[in-house]
């Protein structure tokens, strides 16, 4: 006789979400474009309910916004909104990783390393949607490992606002950047996890700041946000991250 087994399938709303998520990263939807439930339902051959639930997931993931009495549209953040979320990421994520290095458990370290192993194999354009999900999960899990539930809740809200999907979209449209971008992201993530796993709070914070500052460079290169605006945001936040946490050379501006 066969043993009783349980087959696990993703809820339909999550499958629809992943399809829409992939389309957004691939640039098949433009910023500000409305997502029509009826049209998506017809395209995917599913009922309206999972489409509506998938749109709610898009909103909660920071990819779309719900406008009262109008519907759901792809998020079109202003430069100011992007820079605000960038500055808050610098502040909150550094605090989170500092605490994680002190409090993380062996089980949590193993889970982070599992995410790194999976992400290392994602090297194709079709993998970018999954890569974004894993990246966000890695960052969120590190902050959660700090043991500060309130910090984690606030950070999750900020991470949902940060337009990493727009950075992935740019890479999708410029596939020549894909290989080096994915390798660099994996190296940076691995360096953060190694520092956290060794309970070196200062080093973990340093690696995190380096990683987020590189996202700042991408805001300039990929999204065309003026360099002086990005640096103004950094200059507001970096002095708050004291020399007890960071090596001083991280606060020095690049020569022009």
> Is residue 198 in some structural domain?
yes
- Same domain (yes/no): 128, 210: yes
- pLDDT tens-digit readout, 31-47: 889 999 999 999 999 99
pLDDT at position 242: 63
Specify whether 159 is located in the same domain as 221: yes
Q: Are residues 139 and 243 in the same domain?
A: yes
CATH of the domain at 107: 1.20.120.530
Q: Is residue 119 part of a domain?
A: yes
Between 3 and 206, where is the model more confident?
Answer: 206
Secondary structure (3-state) at 8: coil
Q: Do 69 and 109 sit in the same domain of this protein?
A: no
Separation between Cα atoms, residue 28 and residue 74, nearest integer Å: 11
Q: Is the pLDDT of residue 100 over 60?
A: yes
Gap between the Cα atoms of 218 and 237, Å rounded: 18
Residue 98: pLDDT band with limits 50, 70, 90: very high
Does residue 61 share a domain with residue 85?
A: no
Average pLDDT, the chain: 87
Q: Which of 30, 53, 74 is the last residue of a domain?
A: 74
Over 80: is that where the pLDDT of 91 sits?
yes
- Cα 232 from Cα 163, distance rounded (Å): 19
* Co-location of 135 and 92 in the same domain: yes
- Count structural domains, the chain: 2
pLDDT in tens, 169-191: 888 889 899 889 999 999 999 99
pLDDT at 247 over 60: no
Which residues constitute the domain of residue 204? 79-251
Confidence of residue 250 (pLDDT cuts 50, 70, 90): very low
For residue 18, the domain's CATH number is: 1.10.10.10
Q: Token pair for residue 154?
A: 């606030």
Provide the pLDDT for residue 162: 86
Query: Which two tokens mark 106?
Result: 């062996």
pLDDT for the residue 7: 38
**Rounded Cα gap, residues 237 and 28, in angstroms:** 35
In a domain, 6, yes or no: no
* Residues whose CB falls within 8 Å of the CB of residue 141, separated by 6 or more in sequence, listed in order: 108, 111, 112, 115
Altogether, the residues listed in the chain come to a count of: 256
Based on the fold, state whether residues 26 and 130 are members of the same structural domain: no
For Cα atoms 83, 89, 93, give the angle at the middle one, nearest 5 degrees: 170
Q: Got the DSSP string for 164-202?
A: HHHHHHHHHH-GGGHHHHHHHHHHHHHHHHHHHHTT-HH
Identify whether residues 55 and 107 lie together within a single domain. Answer: no
Query: Which pair of structure tokens corresponds to residue 98?
Result: 């500092």
User: Torsion-angle region of residue 187: left (phi > 0), alpha (psi -120 to 50) or beta?
Assistant: alpha
- The pLDDT assigned to 193 comes to 98
Q: pTM, whole model, 2 decimals?
A: 0.79
Same structural domain, 70 and 110: no
Confidence band, pLDDT 50/70/90 cuts, at residue 163: confident
The pLDDT-based confidence of 3 (bands split at 50, 70, 90) is very low
- Report pLDDT for 45: 93
**Whether residue 49 is found in the same domain as residue 127:** no
Domain contains 24:
yes
Task: Say if residue 94 is in the same domain as residue 60.
Answer: no
pLDDT tens sequence across 108-154: 999 999 999 999 988 888 888 888 889 989 999 999 999 999 999 99
């Amino acid at each position: 006789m066969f043993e009783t087994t349980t087959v696990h399938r993703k809820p339909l709303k999550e499958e629809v979400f992943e399809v829409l998520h992939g389309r957004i990263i691939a640039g098949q939807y433009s910023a500000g474009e409305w997502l029509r439930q009826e049209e998506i339902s017809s395209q995917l051959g599913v009922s309206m309910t999972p489409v509506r639930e998938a749109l709610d997931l898009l909103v909660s993931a920071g990819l779309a916004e719900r406008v009262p009495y109008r519907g759901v549209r792809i998020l079109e953040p202003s430069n100011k909104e992007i820079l605000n979320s960038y500055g808050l990421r610098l502040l909150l994520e550094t605090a989170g990783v500092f605490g994680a290095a002190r409090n993380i458990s062996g089980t949590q370290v193993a889970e982070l390393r599992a995410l790194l192993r999976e992400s290392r194999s994602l090297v194709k354009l079709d993998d970018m949607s999954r890569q974004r999900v894993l990246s966000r999960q890695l960052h969120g899990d590190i902050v959660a490992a700090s043991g500060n539930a309130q910090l984690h809740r606030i950070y999750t809200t900020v991470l949902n606002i940060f337009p990493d999907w727009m950075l992935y979209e740019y890479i999708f449209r410029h596939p020549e950047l894909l290989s080096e971008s994915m390798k660099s992201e994996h190296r940076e993530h691995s360096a953060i996890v190694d520092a956290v796993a060794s309970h070196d709070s200062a080093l973990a914070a340093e690696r995190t700041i380096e990683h987020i500052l590189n996202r700042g460079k991408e805001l300039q290169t990929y999204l065309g946000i003026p360099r002086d605006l990005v640096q103004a945001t950094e200059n507001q936040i970096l002095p708050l991250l004291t020399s007890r946490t960071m090596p001083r050379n991280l606060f020095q501006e690049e020569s022009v």
